[in-house]
Amino acid sequence: MTLESHPEWLTYEDCQHLLRLYMGHGFGRRLWDDLVVRGKLPGYRSTLSQQTRHRWAEVLAAVEGSMKKVVR
């Protein structure tokens, strides 16, 4: 899976893989779940598998939107 080629619906593990490719690090499971519960990261509950799924474009927009610009 690459940043350009990935499925539309991703699991936590898939998002972590893409975040490591994009930023060099991911988020811990506890922090990730807390951010999803608080609405900081978009997540959709699948009724069939009872798992939370994510869309990469929405996750990327949320992560980039939360970054602060560093002024030197």
* Predicted local confidence at residue 21, as pLDDT: 92
pLDDT tens, residue by residue, 7-27: 888 999 999 999 999 988 988
> What is the band of 66 on the pLDDT scale with cuts at 50, 70, 90?
confident
- The full set of domain ranges for the chain reads 9-64
Q: Is the pTM of this model over 0.85?
A: no
Q: What are phi and psi of 4, to 5 degrees?
A: -90, -30
Could you say which DSSP state residue 13 is in?
H
Pairing, β 52-55 against β 44-45: antiparallel
pLDDT at 69 over 80: no
Local structure of 9: helix, strand or coil: strand
* Predicted local confidence at residue 70, as pLDDT: 73
